[in-house]
Structure 1
Amino acid sequence: MAIGERAAQARQLLAHEGRWMRSLGLWAARRRHGVGPADTALGYARAQAPTSYGLVFVFAVETVGVSFMLAAYPVAHLVMLVLDLYTVCLVLGLHAAAVTRPHVLGPGGLRVRRGAGLDLWIPAERIESVRYDLRFPDGKKTEDGVLEVAVASQTSLTIELSQPVTAVSLLGRRTEVHTVRCHADDPKAAVTAIKRRLRSGLSWPGPTE
């Protein structure tokens, strides 16, 4: 891997770090990112909440236990305390990013997101069909042109496109996709909302930052 490519990936990871950290502030303030007054937010974080909170509890207990075990070793105690607190914040931040960065349905299309790691804009004119389609991906490689945006190991919406769009991964890898499978807390209501918005025929320049 070239040095320039590694530097680009490092910048991507730092940007991701900044996004989930900012999401903690948005979560505390009960605000959402990129949802304008004419938009409809389609949440997807509910399915992962039990796992996220369970991990936070386990890591918090571990932090207390390790602190007692290393109390006689100040340097090791400080290092492990910082790492454990960072881990707790990371898990909370990733969940906060999922809560505060929902999918966004606007007059001009659909913004499909997965926390702070994926942000895919699909123009309305490229959405050929959308349907409720509950799946449990096994993690194996999907067919070419299909993007699976699973939450808690499940997807519940399948969006077929008339023209491909470009999905950019966390590390900057670009992929042309013609089918997007993602999850929504209320997938049937999401399908209804998307179809209704498509029928409205309104135009909109793109997502709100």
Structure 2
Amino acid sequence: MSTGVQPARGEASVWSRVRGFATRALRLELRIYASIGRLITRRPAIPAGGAGFSYHRPVLTVLIIFIVLSAVEIPIIDLIVHQWPAVRIGFLVLGIWGLTWMIGFLGAFLMRPHTVGPDGIQAREGLEIDVPLSWADVASVAPARRVDEPKTPRVTETDDGATLSLRMQNETNIEIELERPIRVELPGRAPKGGVHEVTRVRLWADDPKAFLASVRTHLGAYTA
């Protein structure tokens, strides 16, 4: 005899996913405009006393090409559909929104750099990923260039724990060993997203020497 429990659970699961998707979409939209605001005012998200280190160089050309194509697309489509006002307005709004989104996405890479400061390291990527690592969590930071296979997951399991890799074009050049496993939350649902425990963080810095020099300065001050 059916109790009706399973359909109710299934419906709750669907609505939970819809709410999660809507919340993430809204958060992304707000961060797009926040990134544009920071870009206009030239105020990168760097904590007081800290230094920012860019990681956008490997993808900058691709992002600029997408922005240019998005801008060129607007008048071309407008010319094609200009005789249908309703369609024209719809495509115009969609085109401007898409161009704004691409500019904000680029702004996130430019205005949300990795940071090294008195409290530790913030490892970032684009709009959503921000992993704070306090100096108490950090065992060592070293140069370690690595190229992974395309589509390798951000979190990979090894015999000595899990590694979070914030790659640019499949590459990382800094490796941060942690004193103990820490919990990090990644965008999306498991297994790619969600909460993971990691013992190592790999990232890409456009200027790894400057990044490491700043780490030595702040880590030395912390341990003194």
Q: TM-score, normalised by structure 2?
A: 0.83
Aligned counterpart, 1:72: 83
Cα deviation code 1:15-62 (max 9, x no counterpart): 1210121110110111112x2331111222233221111111111112
Hey, what's the Cα distance between the residues in 2 that align with 1:151 and 1:13? Answer: 23
Q: Using CA pairs below 8 Å that are at least 6 residues apart, which structure has the higher relative contact order?
A: 1
Hey, what's the Cα distance between the residues in 1 that align with 2:14 and 2:77? Answer: 39
6-15 vs 46-55, greater mean Cα deviation: 6-15
Q: Sort the Cα spacing of 1:87 and 1:136 in 2 relative to 1 into closer, same or farther, 3 A.
A: farther
Count of residues in correspondence between the two structures: 202
AA at the equivalent of 1:156: N
Aligned counterpart, 2:115: 104
Matched, 1:19 2:31: yes
Q: Is the 8 A contact 1:149 1:183 kept in 2?
A: yes
Hey, what's the Cα distance between the residues in 2 that align with 1:140 and 1:153? Answer: 8
Q: Is the 8 A contact 2:182 2:199 kept in 1?
A: yes
Cα deviation code 1:153-201 (max 9, x no counterpart): 3222111112122221223711111111111110122122213321222
DSSP-derived class of the 2:156 partner: coil
Shift of 1:202: 6.0
Over the aligned positions, Cα root-mean-square deviation in angstroms equals: 1.9
DSSP-derived class of the 2:197 partner: strand
Cα deviation code 1:81-122 (max 9, x no counterpart): 212211111111011011111111111211111122111111
Shift of 1:5: 4.2
Q: Is the 8 A contact 2:81 2:87 kept in 1?
A: yes
Shift of 1:2: 4.2
Hey, what's the Cα distance between the residues in 2 that align with 1:106 and 1:202? Answer: 14
Aligned counterpart, 1:91: 102
Q: Is the 8 A contact 1:155 1:182 kept in 2?
A: yes
Matched, 1:45 2:78: no
Aligned counterpart, 1:196: 217
Hey, what's the Cα distance between the residues in 1 that align with 2:223 and 2:50? Answer: 12
2:200 corresponds, among 174, 179, 182, to 179
Hey, what's the Cα distance between the residues in 2 that align with 1:79 and 1:9? Answer: 24
Hey, what's the Cα distance between the residues in 1 that align with 2:57 and 2:175? Answer: 19
Please tell me whether Structure 1 or Structure 2 has the larger radius of gyration of its CA atoms: 2
Shift of 1:4: 2.7
Q: Is the 8 A contact 1:41 1:105 kept in 2?
A: yes
DSSP-derived class of the 2:25 partner: helix
Hey, what's the Cα distance between the residues in 2 that align with 1:9 and 1:133? Answer: 36
DSSP-derived class of the 1:201 partner: helix
Hey, what's the Cα distance between the residues in 1 that align with 2:58 and 2:131? Answer: 21
Q: Is the 8 A contact 2:50 2:115 kept in 1?
A: yes
Hey, what's the Cα distance between the residues in 1 that align with 2:17 and 2:180? Answer: 29
Identity %: 24
169-178 vs 107-116, greater mean Cα deviation: 169-178
Runs of 4+ in structure 1 over 3 Å off: none
Q: Sort the Cα spacing of 1:3 and 1:162 in 2 relative to 1 into closer, same or farther, 3 A.
A: same
Q: Is the 8 A contact 1:112 1:120 kept in 2?
A: yes
2:170 corresponds, among 146, 153, 166, to 153
